[in-house]
Amino acid sequence: MTPLELLEAWSGVLIVLIGLFAIWYFALRRFQVRKASKRLSLTAFLAFGFLYLPIIVVAIFSFNNSRFRLDWVGFTWKWYAKIFGDESVEGGLEGAQLLLATQNTLVLAVISTIIATLLGALLGYGLHRYRFPGSKLTAWLMYIPVVTPDIVMAISLLLLYQVLRVVSPIFEPGLPAMVIAHVTFQIAFVAIVVRSRLATLDPALEEAARDLYAGPLDTMRFVVLPLMLPGVMAGALLAFTLSIDDFVISFFTSGPTSQTLPILIYASVKRGITPDINALSTIIVAITIIGVFISQILQRNQKA
């Protein structure tokens, strides 16, 4: 490739780059005014628009009256009807498949979140409280799932399962193996959240409890536990969403009957997008957003 061709090939990227930098620079020059300037607001508005673009597009196309095409044909509700069991609609996924995938996703998320929250909260508490051989190393290791690319974790677990399969059938590809994989990354997130919550607590509270003759169990039950509970809940919520959202790790550890929704969606996208996937995705997104708002409202009430 000659330099000129190279420049031509990259000109689009270059123009966008220069344009974005210009917007960025002019938007930020007004930083002195702590109140958001107009330019800053415009940039932020565009950024939010970009973040929400895929979600909006999927929602719009879930009403598209076309079986195969990616362009707009006309309005219809039929994909939603199909998802909720209308067998007369042609095209798209099988209802039974969809039901199974939904069930798998929820079972996986609930079981793994319960295990991870329990073990993760205890781990966070133990690491906060006691210095023991390996405690520093463990605290460091917990950041590995936060940073490591999913695929590397998925592959290393897949290989572990290959070795352990000799010992027990739960390491065959399938739901139990997926639960173990999910707990592995969830546990780290829960422990980190719980530990940072505990770090903000005043140790004097516990000492006060002891001075008032509370035994270790009572101190735990009436002082420490209520104080660390918000951290535990936040960790559990995070773990749950991480599990629901996970595609890569599930993909490499799942068996033929343990497909989750993300795997099902990926498989049908590879075969060619079908509009009922849009409808399904829109429902998932709607549930996610409603869930977020409910947790927001709950938090606000807690503060008040």
Partner 1 sequence: MSAPVRKVADKQKVEAVGGEVLTVPQLLSRAASTAGPGVLWIFLFLVLPMMILLVYSFLTRDELGNASLPLTFDNYVRFAGWDVLGYDAAYLVIVGRTIIVSLVTTFFCVLIAYPLAFFIAGHEPRTRDRLMVFVIVPSWVNLVIRTYAFMIVFNPSSPVTQLAAALGFVKPGDGLYPSDFAVYVGMVNIFLPFIVLPLYSAVERIDWSLLEAAQDLYATKTQAFFQVLIPQTLPGLVAGIILTAIPALGMFVVPDLLGGAKTSLIGNAIAQQFGQSRDYPFGAAISFLVMGLTLLVLYLYSRRVGEQGMRDLL
What is the footprint of partner 1 within residues 79-138 (CB under 8 A)?
119-120, 122-123, 125-132, 134-136, 138
**In the complex, what is the shortest distance from the CB of residue 303 to partner 1, in angstroms, rounded to a whole number?**
10
Please name the residues in contact with 70: beta carbons below 8 A apart, sequence gap of 6 or more. Answer: 61, 273
Q: Binder to partner 1 among 183, 232, 233, 249 (CB under 8 A)?
A: 183
**Is 152 among the residues that bind partner 1 (CB under 8 A)?**
yes
**Is 68 among the residues that bind partner 1 (CB under 8 A)?**
no
CA distance 187 to 85: 37
Residue 207 to residues 122, 211, 219, 221: CA-CA distances in angstroms?
20, 6, 9, 14
How many amino acids of this chain bind partner 1 (CB under 8 A)?
A: 112
Q: Binder to partner 1 among 81, 100, 139, 283 (CB under 8 A)?
A: 139
Q: Which window, 20-28, 74-82, 88-96, 225-233, contacts partner 1 (CB under 8 A)?
A: 20-28
Rg (CA), the chain: 25
**Is 298 among the residues that bind partner 1 (CB under 8 A)?**
no
Q: Binder to partner 1 among 86, 172, 207, 218 (CB under 8 A)?
A: 207
Q: Which window, 82-90, 94-102, 203-211, 225-233, contacts partner 1 (CB under 8 A)?
A: 203-211
**Is 297 among the residues that bind partner 1 (CB under 8 A)?**
no
- Interface residues for partner 1 in 240-269 (CB under 8 A)? 241, 244-245, 247-248, 252, 261-262, 265-266, 269
Retrieve residue 150's tokens: 């999913």
For partner 1, the closer of residues 76 and 266 by Cβ is 266
Retrieve residue 225's tokens: 């536990």
For partner 1, the closer of residues 88 and 271 by Cβ is 271
For partner 1, the closer of residues 81 and 118 by Cβ is 118
Q: Binder to partner 1 among 29, 49, 215, 225 (CB under 8 A)?
A: 29
**In the complex, what is the shortest distance from the CB of residue 178 to partner 1, in angstroms, rounded to a whole number?**
12
**Is 73 among the residues that bind partner 1 (CB under 8 A)?**
no
**In the complex, what is the shortest distance from the CB of residue 77 to partner 1, in angstroms, rounded to a whole number?**
19
Q: Binder to partner 1 among 6, 7, 21, 298 (CB under 8 A)?
A: 21
Retrieve residue 109's tokens: 């998320």
**In the complex, what is the shortest distance from the CB of residue 88 to partner 1, in angstroms, rounded to a whole number?**
26
For partner 1, the closer of residues 87 and 191 by Cβ is 191
- Interface residues for partner 1 in 223-242 (CB under 8 A)? 224, 241
